[in-house]
Structure 1
């Protein structure tokens, strides 16, 4: 099962704890048995009956009762009887209660009358020498009914309380984890756009997450500064190497054009010239990539005949391919138009064809296809050469990376990096598929309006 997010786990934990508390409270309410309800009722009844002693007086043959005896305080019915005649002197009893219930002074009883249960307490009391009986009656059924009503209300409100707890927990979790979400979003943007200048910038805060964000921003500052220094160093080195390389190439060309070298010397100078030409191409590509990294490489966009470019580059590599016994076959749709930098497009196709020929097998084939599908222009360069192993495939876009450098010692390892940058600079997409020992296919897609 997919691991739940931290926000979801916090909400579930908070809601679960609230549900547990509610269940415990309800369990405590359920644990209040009828005996405990009756006990509370009886305590109330005893307090009311004993309190009635102060609400009556007998003077000059007359009874004087306080009106509080008629009030249903705490639901207790109070009535006063003459002990001798058992005549009702004052008070009242519940409707439907037995009027002829025998008196049992000091005995607390439970009586059933109709559908209700009552607690009854009779006490004997003497007021100025005149004995009376005081009877207190309270309904147990009413108390149980009130308790059940409260319990039902609690059961009804419990889901609402849990739901509100879940909502509050979600809002609190989202607010608490907002910094984490912002950190994640910033990292994803950096990965997608490869822009180390972005910062999280949570603002002021002293908790652990804010400290983590500031630390992460500091790390980005360090990495960005290091990358900028590396780009500048690469650009400076490539720029400084151009002059001495050009001088060496010119000297080699002068020597080769002269007549004062013997055959062996001419071969050695030719080797130097070829190697320096390879280094010159590498420095040129490295300088271009460095300027691109720094945002200083501007595209010279113009309408170009892409079909003509493909045919021209394929024709240029035909002779090189034939030296290795490789046949280049083209299937290029005529009249393909594209707004692009012509020089970079020539370099893109040249790098792909050079790669296909260099890693092709003698007697093999290279196929170059270009066509328009919907609103996109598609290019495919495919070969039946040695292929690329699955573990090497993700790294072929890295600069200076070569899966098998022994197969092409003149390769700089920058060709495919250059290809990828050119495609992305024209808002296109590039993909590769390969099978070891069977060949490789590079596919480029460009918006036809680019």
Structure 2
């Protein structure tokens, strides 16, 4: 399962936490608001009923009522009843309210009538004249609840937009905050791709952890680059220093082999020594070439190359080495196969691949060399029936100095395939390899043509 990116995880975490906090706060607010609305309605009702006592008077043997009793201020209805008979003397109550509801002086009650919720308060009033009155205040809780429900409904509608806005803001902030990390990653990937250790992150001035990480990373790159340059220079210096004594040794061996008084046994030893010197010289030459490559001092001289003639020439050059192990080289070369390439490097590529097949081939074995064009691509296929390559070794065969079985082939430097891979890469080509132990290996190089 693919892991989510750090940005997405931060956005999800931020959104979830913000959503939970918002839900908790909204729930708390609505709970408090609901209670406050209830208390506010009760207080308004109590104040209205108490103030209504001043709107009723007893004069000259009769009751007088102020017309303000008929007004429903804040949705509160007032009515004056005769306590004994329950008769409505003045005022009004909401439509559908229970007219014969029993009196309970000084009590706030919640009453339901025809699916409507009311808050009722009765207050006794004695003005003299032998009449006991009751002032009843009635207000609808349903209206207040409806207002509350509308607010809640609006909040539920706006809530998804709030979550989306939070996620968007979190994404933008996380992306901005992680831009330095992305820059560090991009720098590492570019170094991994082209091997240019001179690249740096260069985030600039900053005091947070990411800026310090970038600065540390730049210092690390400087250290690695300096170490690699020292190693490259050392390799170059050693290779240069070895060329002269190897040349002298080669000349001495050649002169010694032509001495007539030399015994057959000594002549054999000199020939073996000469071959070792030649192998060492070739390795030194390859080290010098890799040194120029690493220091980017290698210049390609591309031209239109007839690969058909080039491959045929390389096969001819390798016939003597193949014959030493009775290995037959079978070629299948398509005529007039051209491509833009450095001819010297292409010769080295073909010779290295054929030499590798001979080195790891069995006596009396075979090597098949095929050159052909397909879909505007040029293919070079070299197959052998040698010892093959173990699956665990396949990922490493293009590494410098790597040998799957060092004890078996001590004369092999392990630089040939590394050189082949580099030549393919600088010619914008591709390379495939397949192998099976004891059945041989197949190398396929393809180039644009």
Q: Shorter-chain-normalised TM-score: which range? A: 0.7 to 0.9
**In 1, Cα distance between the equivalents of 2:394 and 2:297?**
30
Contact in 2 for aligned 1:56/1:65 (Cα 8 Å): yes
Tell me the residue number matched to 1:228: 229
Q: Which shifted more, 32-41 or 184-193?
A: 32-41
Q: What is the Cα deviation at residue 210 of structure 1?
A: 2.1
Tell me the residue number matched to 1:185: 186
Cα 1:141/1:431, change in 2 over 3 Å: same
Runs of 5+ in structure 2 lacking a partner?
none
Q: What is the Cα deviation at residue 167 of structure 1?
A: 2.3
**In 2, Cα distance between the equivalents of 1:112 and 1:393?**
85
Cα 1:117/1:266, change in 2 over 3 Å: closer
- Kindly report the root-mean-square deviation, in angstroms, between the aligned alpha carbons of the 2 structures: 3.5
**In 2, Cα distance between the equivalents of 1:133 and 1:196?**
96
Q: Which shifted more, 168-177 or 34-43?
A: 34-43
Residues 42-74 of structure 1: CA deviation (Å, up to 9, x unaligned): 34311332345578899999989696x776554
Contact in 2 for aligned 1:49/1:135 (Cα 8 Å): yes
Residues 266-312 of structure 1: CA deviation (Å, up to 9, x unaligned): 33332222221111111111101110111101112121211011111
Tell me the residue number matched to 2:257: 256
Specify the SS of the correspondent of 2:378. Answer: strand
5 Å-filtered alignment, 1:245-394, equals 245-394=246-395
Q: Which shifted more, 48-57 or 335-344?
A: 48-57
Cα 1:391/1:108, change in 2 over 3 Å: closer
Cα 1:35/1:229, change in 2 over 3 Å: closer
Tell me the residue number matched to 1:7: 7
Residues 232-289 of structure 1: CA deviation (Å, up to 9, x unaligned): 1111221222122222222222333444534344333322222211111111111011
Structure 1 stretches of 4+ moved >6 Å: 29-37, 54-67, 80-87, 98-102, 126-132
Specify the SS of the correspondent of 2:402. Answer: coil
Q: What is the Cα deviation at residue 435 of structure 1?
A: 0.7
Contact in 2 for aligned 1:358/1:407 (Cα 8 Å): no
Runs of 5+ in structure 1 lacking a partner?
none
Cα 1:188/1:53, change in 2 over 3 Å: farther
Query: What is the number of residues matched between the two proteins?
Result: 446
* TM-score normalised according to structure 2 size: 0.86
**In 2, Cα distance between the equivalents of 1:127 and 1:179?**
84
* TM-score normalised according to structure 1 size: 0.86
Is 1:47 matched with 2:50? no
Contact in 1 for aligned 2:79/2:88 (Cα 8 Å): no
**In 2, Cα distance between the equivalents of 1:116 and 1:201?**
71
Contact in 2 for aligned 1:380/1:443 (Cα 8 Å): yes
Q: What is the Cα deviation at residue 182 of structure 1?
A: 2.4
Tell me the residue number matched to 1:239: 240
